[in-house]
Amino acid sequence: MHPFASCSIALCLAALTTNVHAGNCKSIHAEMVEVRVTTGCDAGEAACFLGEVDGNHGLRGTTHFSADSVGVALPTSPGSLPYSGAFQYRLPTGTISMRETGMNTPGMVAAHQRVTEGTGEYAGATGDFFVHGTRVPGIVTTSVHGTLCLP
């Protein structure tokens, strides 16, 4: 076989594989409300955020967030606070575990969530969500947009 022909076949197979994966991806849109609590958190957590999510493609259920690292305020952005932690969407057909990394500013929050693991229907899932919205002491109200790909 001519080297060009084998290269063309490899490119075609790669394109088909990409299209198969892309066909299993869904555009996610949801609304979420979280409340900071000191009871009902996972074992060993002094405080966490528990919430409810209402979205498309089955993204309806409860949520759990616990920060495991918090940065310092940026000197040129008073009141800002970078953070990161484990986030879970606990849904009737499985759980989507995420790594959330974000920034709080006075009255606002913006974050990126990347799928790290899934169970049930979401086993083997990949994807990224972007979360943005408002926060008042103890309550966060956000919109969620992104892509969730199932195997």
pLDDT confidence of residue 11: 37
Task: Using pLDDT thresholds of 50, 70 and 90, give the confidence band for residue 9.
Answer: very low
pLDDT confidence of residue 77: 92
Task: Using pLDDT thresholds of 50, 70 and 90, give the confidence band for residue 45.
Answer: very high
Task: Using pLDDT thresholds of 50, 70 and 90, give the confidence band for residue 26.
Answer: very high
> Where along the chain do its domains lie?
25-149
Closest CA to 113 of 96, 99, 126, 103: 99
Gap between the Cα atoms of 116 and 97, Å rounded: 6
Closest CA to 69 of 110, 100, 112: 100
Q: Model confidence over 51-67: pLDDT tens digits?
A: 999 999 999 999 999 99
Rounded mean pLDDT, 119-126: 97
What is 25-149's CATH number? 2.40.480.10
Closest CA to 90 of 110, 119, 113: 119
- CB 84, CB 99: distance < 8 Å: yes
DSSP 16-83: HHHHHHHHTEEEEEEEEEEEEESSSPPTT-S-EEEEEEEESTT-EEEEEEEEEEE----TTSTT-EEE
Structure tokens at 118: 């899934």
Q: Model confidence over 82-109: pLDDT tens digits?
A: 999 999 999 999 999 999 999 999 999 9
pLDDT confidence of residue 143: 98
Q: Model confidence over 72-85: pLDDT tens digits?
A: 999 999 999 999 99
pTM: 0.83
